Amino acid sequence: MKRNRVIAALVVMAGVFGWLLFGGLEKNVVFFLTPKELLAKGTDGVGVAVRLGGQVKPGSVQWDAKTLDLRFTVTDGAREMAVRSTGAPPQMFRDGMGVIVEGRVGAGGVFEATNLMVKHSNEYRAPKPGEEAHEKYKTLIKQTGP
């Protein structure tokens, strides 16, 4: 008799816990979308937190060092989306590289980013001429080095 009551209590508790858990999940799941998929949602995609994935469109990066205002375009080959963020671009940020941007589409159709993640690849890739890493710092080392 007592055992049945304990089992019933456990079942109720598990039920409530599961309900809370999956309710919480539904509210906090963030979809990972490409610009094409996000634009296909139309107005349903506005104001919803998503992760936007794609490549940084070459030549689209504009950064104002003084105001830290960063703008660039993310493309998936088919469609593209303008992104705005505040702060310095991640140190490995570069034209054409894969990025994941967390944020939401604002009223003006511009993606307001709250978080920028660069796809950090472990595979070594030979840099193209003109974009070797040392191009970015060789002057500094020459100037201040021993």
**145 is a contact residue toward other proteins (CB under 8 A):** yes
Contact 67, 113 (CB under 8 A): no
Interatomic CA distance for residues 127 and 146, integer angstroms: 27
Q: Under rule CB under 8 A, how many of the chain's residues touch other proteins?
A: 46
Binds other proteins (CB under 8 A): choice among 42, 107, 130, 134: 134
CA atoms of 86 and 69, how far apart (whole Å): 5
End-to-end CA distance of the chain: 85
**Piece in contact with other proteins (CB under 8 A), picked from 40-48, 71-79, 103-111, 133-141:** 133-141
What is the C-alpha to C-alpha distance for residues 127 and 132, in angstroms, rounded to an integer?
5
Binding mask 109-128 for other proteins (x = CB under 8 A): ---------xxxxx-xx-x-
| Closer residue to other proteins in complex, CB, 43/143 | 143
Q: Does 95 bind other proteins (CB under 8 A)?
A: no
Residue 59 near residue 80, CB atoms below 8 Å: no
CB-nearer residue toward other proteins: 62 or 139: 139
Structural contact between residues 105 and 82, judged by C-beta atoms closer than 8 angstroms: no
Footprint of other proteins on this chain (CB under 8 A)?
Answer: 17, 20-22, 24-25, 27-33, 49, 51, 63, 65-66, 68, 87-89, 91-92, 118-122, 124-125, 127, 131-134, 136-145
